[in-house]
Structure 1
Amino acid sequence: MTHERQHRGLTAANLTNTSYDMEPLKSGNKIPTEQFLPASDAKKLQKKRVSFRAIVAIGLPTALAIIALVTGLLVWHFHYRYNGRVRKMFSGYLTISSQTFSDAYENSNTAEYKELASKVSRQLKGIYGQVRLLSKYHVASSVQGFSEGSNNGIIAYYLSEFNVPESQVSAVDEAMASMDGGENARKSRRGFGRRTDNSLIIDGMTSGAVDARLAGRNLKRSSKRSHHAHGNQTDIIRSPGFPDSAYLPNLYTEWQIRADPEHRIRLEFDVLDLEKDCRNDFIKVYDSLAPSEKQVIAEKCGYRLPDEKICGEKPPKTVYTIKSNQTTVRFHSDLSYVSEGFSAEFEAFEPTNPCPGRFQCDNDLCVSPNLECDGYNDCGDMSDERGCTCNETQIKCKNGFCKPSFWRCDGVNDCGDNTDEENCGNCKAQEFRCRNSRCIPAHKQCNGYNDCGDGSDESQCEKSIAVHCSDLTYKCKNNQCISKLNPMCDGEIDCADGSDEAECKCGTKPYKSSRIVGGKDSSEGEWPWQVSLHMNTQGHVCGASVISNRWLVTAAHCVQDSEKFKYSQPDQWEVYLGLLNQGETSKSTLKRVKRIISHPQYDHLSDDNDIALMELDSPVTLSQNIWPVCLPEATHDFPAGKSVWITGWGKQREEVDAIASVLQKAEVRIINNTVCNKLMDDGITPRMICAGVLSGGVDACQGDSGGPMTSTESSGRMFLAGVVSWGDGCGRRNRPGVYTRVTEYRSWIREMTGV
């Protein structure tokens, strides 16, 4: 899901009872929807009942945000063969900048809707007419709905039908993919916007083939229903006949739901009955008024096993001491399917000595005695760090704690009372320290003037101002520089030309919300930009990140030849996208590599400039499991102390050989480069960024190389802060992981890929 201002939508299929509420983005109210698909056998119509709840929340910041529940398409719109030809259907949306949105475009019966729909259909025919292959096989295009775009423009959602010889199907797919809306594609379509009396100015176009499972010729289309939900309104949608009778076989039903400005939809499935065969019975939710596979939010199908799992988080007190020799553990669960269950450890001990040979924490946890007073909270309640006498290698905090000396002056308040950041040559009290190290009076911060000279005193204020350009300021496409820190894709237009929000179809997780040492299993679709790179004869070798439907970012050391393997040769690689479990590669998308571009200044001895690009042999269809991560601009700031995520299938411990089966994730902290350089024996260059947990136990490892280190920014989007590069062992104390700093290579990536 793209979470753009222009369009929003959901699509569900195959459910029996759904409620929805609409709630303001900053407060709480309600909205919903639902959908059904065919039962292949009338005898199976009465399905086994399973209690299931799913909640989907979508921000809708524009005047008319949309939620469309689309379970399928007209049967004749997709893939049935006759006389050696294939009828193919593509769905998508385009942006009309020459028209202004009005309420009349919500109702398909108004004259305004019909007139604009007719213009869009004619314009689509003209667009396809510029590509001989598409013009030859195009049958017709129809508009499915309109929504409000940016600057009060219009988003038109459409279906286009093609009648294609079987031998030309792949060629048509590639031709349609080439029309998709990236920066280069938009430039190549400028001719679309040449205005005549009847033409429209089209700014961007996205399309993709319709889900092949909706090819059944015997589908019965139910009526298409549209709703506009308002604040404080709750509604319920049910499948035909529910709950008194089962829904008919081969049924397709569609809802389109719109919300008030600045509101979002909350969708709850209260009762959900699905057949085991996902080909015949499923729910699909789209962020679109047409079933565009690039706008899929979620899909549910198949039976759900009754594996009860507990709800809740890790309790604050995790160790309980029982003084008797017997205990009873009772576990109670509801029917939730979305939480992670529980795990408990137990051990017997002599009551007079509960922690033999170890330190006893106040919470009854037992830890190694050498962890006492080491500066790290090993107990979890700080009891191992109280009442300590600091040694010569530690900072003595005013609050009584001892911290490692290399944390002094790293820009992070590790003591908790800022002792470790005092007397660092920083600014005096009542002064503000600029990013360029200048000191200015604190009262000049956010006064509307660029007192620092680099705009940093105005960078985190309510309003951004135009400033002189520098290495620390963000430059808009119109060459204006603004003071705001990290303005790109933060959901607010800061540049006068809107360029800071122009390329933001990235970094969103359609779900919720080297190996990784100390990590945990990821969920399907949780990291949709994560890629597994396989050598033809070796299996998984490295990770990579999706940055567009054709390009990947990985590490240069992953593509350097060895005596035994030709890693630099594109035909040696297999690329698996949308993969969760290495044992289930058949369920993911497999691509081949067309071209590898290793950074020309990569140094294999120091691992400096450890970055490379891979071009896929054909565009991949973006979906909820495959989605690009956002690339940060050169001025993007990832400050020391910020939490970031590392992901990969690498080794789970340094001493083992096997990689992880399920994609692992772990949260680590960015380490100040000066501190990291001391820890890593002066091996850190300005083009590297360090992250880790200095107490050890969490890190990237062999097999994670080339994978992403991502940072969640204020908008909720995730940016590629680093590429897994190197380290000293895996998860060792005071030995953080080292990553390639992506901001240093933004211009190079754009020059090589156009992304």
Structure 2
Amino acid sequence: MGTEREANEKASGEGDASQLEAASIADVSVEVATVDHTLQKICRKYRKTRRKPKGLKRLQARLLSIPHLAVIITAVVFVVLIIMWSLLWVFLFRRESNSGVYFAGMFRVANVEFIPEYRQAESREFVSLAGKIQHVVSNVFKVSSVARLYKQAIISDLSNNDKGGVLVHFWMAFVVPQLRSKSVCEECVEAIFRDSVHISMMNRSSVGYLLGLPVDMDSILINAVERSDYSSSGAGSQCVGKLYANLPGLSVPLNVFSSWGDVSCHVKLTSAPGSLIRLTVTSFLIEPSDCVSDGLTAYDALLPMRGRILHRMCEPVSRSFSLVSTSNVMLLSFRMTNGNKSFRGHFEAIAEEMSQIETHVEPDIIGQIYSPFHPSLLPPQCFSTWKFETPSSALGVALQFQNYVLKPKEVNGCEHGWWKVNEIIFCGSYVGHHTVFRISDHSPEVEFRCSSRISAQPFQATYSSYNISQPCPENHFLCSTGLCVEKSRRCDGLDDCQDESDEVFCSRPTKNCGGNSPLHPLFVCNGESDCPNGIDETNCTQETTCSAIRYQCSSGSCILKKNAKCDGVLDCQDHSDEADCACGRPSSVKKTGSPPGRERIVGGDNSVEGEWPWQVSLHFSGQLYCGASVLSSDWLVSAAHCFSKERLSDPRYWSAHLGMLTQGSAKHVAEIQRIVVHEYYDEYTFDYDIALLQLKKPWPPSLSPLVQPVCLPPSSHAVTDSHRCVVTGWGYRSEDDKVLPSVLQKAEVSIVSQTDCKKSLGPVSSRMLCAGVASGERDACRGDSGGPLSCQAPGRGRWFLIGIVSWGSGCGRPNLPGVFTRVNKFTSWIYSHIS
């Protein structure tokens, strides 16, 4: 095709030249002897008599002539193009051609008997079988749509399990230019492999044939991996070890040290078929870094496959704990930088638990049930059944959990445990309080199955009988959590039920300022004079019994005053209420920026520089994604949903912009060292929507006028009508807006009662609060997530972080306030990490 086109172009060129020549001859006219003609002859004769240039001058003259000059310029341009093309090939195209894409995979070959020699990669038996399987896998991809990109397949391990046959672990490598990287996506590679398995129509089983190789279709799993995972598992790695636990209960020690230098290790654990592996971690000394530089990842396979992660340890471990595999293999991937760092532990083979327990529940006698493998972490796959029986049909079974709750299954799957109680399906989830699950049947059967993607926290429950017709004792109120509280404690301002079911839908209490009965706790020592005689704000420093609505001093004693923290008055005898109060005081900075009202975000106005020194803009891969608040010189607080996806949880992609009024004008840009998402965060309900971010380096003290922490409220902190509350951020100005404002926006809002909030939005937990205005004209929106809802104490007091932008029904809709994470519910959790 190309040769024919060149010949045509050549013929066409020659034809054009002939036509030009013919045209020039035809245009020649007969020369007529005129005066001009005579002058031209004289000039030509004169030029012939001039001396011709010699040497360099002659060469220069020839070169500077127009035809020669054109040739020189053409040659120079040609040379420059050749050089540029060579540089592009060396630095761009060649680099792209050498870019590798790597995959780890596994599948089970049925009808092949496993022999012990397959555990040794150097054995003749391993080499023979691995060679055959490798040849089959290579042939599949050599005739596929990605054949030109395929490089090689390497069989890494052959293992066995209780299903029989041989479990194959393998690597695959592709050489892919960056521009074509999508052509070898993870789903594409697995689809090619699966399509090559022709399912037998005779036996109609899950075993098909891959070029004559019987493959279990259900066992196929292929994951994309990093180049570092591929290279660290090879011969060039500092340590690749294999350990085998043959006898059940035999403890095999496992210790790794990095005092001699950086460590990148893969340790492969195997136990006898039909058994599981229990890994016990005694201690793990590392620098917390979200597993970027230091960490340990345990896989439910012999290769570092993302889809088989059991557990990740990114922080130091001082208390012993254990985790369990779902088969007889486990891979430990260590990463430890230079320093005095170490791992100590052991592993053992254990029997697979398929427990079925029958229990007779006697009145006034309680017992315990435990999660499978308790106290080890729950593996992704496990199973238990409990059968209960009470002596009377009037008595049911009550299960009281410490940190777990059962709710009817909805559209979404069960993320943290699948339960079947008398043919009704429930989903389990983790919470930070006690719950009671009642079964109104005297002989129920309870079935539990693990359903977490990775290892989950264990649970335990106390079981007892209860009166089905009267679940709670007399004069007690039945909470939605299943707990029973005294009726006298209902509507007292204290969340006794742990879900506010005893505090919502309560009528507004009367201010009994002069009566004989005591004042309602809602009005006592809240910092606002509710009674004309001021009796509600007297004796506020008097010590009292401790509760969530009373301020607790560092000494452990409690006082009536709710908002004692950093109010400028020494209320505690140990003066702890005024300690650590370098927060919530914006400096008086000259107002700059755009005039108010030019850029409005759901009723917001432009802020001025230094007005919100704790406001942070979080950027993911260089783009605004969420907001945050400054807690200290190296800690920020934000919303957990900002980091809920896998890639979003990697701190290396994030940067924090501090002391900024206009996007792009930050006074300090900090890298993130690690992200701590609350362990009970629920991505479906947004409950426990809070996360902490640790900076790699503290922001310099010289920035303190423009960068400053916000004050953390104690659990007793109460926001009254006298507080001024403002939500801030760079989020969108309306629900349909597509352009983000450049200047930090602020909108003043009011706290909405929890009763009204639940009426408007429904699923609002006690760890959430609502704020906005009835018209919906002032609200947070997309891009504001994780940012602060700050409230100022009366009398131009300090600003406290009351809420974190979490979720809402649209932006700025009437009677649909925004929902915020209630920060005073997490104060102790925050201090446990940043102190």
Indicate the structure whose relative CO is greater, using CA pairs within 8 Å and at least 6 residues apart.
1
TM-score over 0.5 (shorter chain): no
Q: Which has the larger radius of gyration?
A: 2
TM-score between the two structures when normalised by the length of structure 1: 0.39
- 1 or 2, which has the higher helix percentage? 2
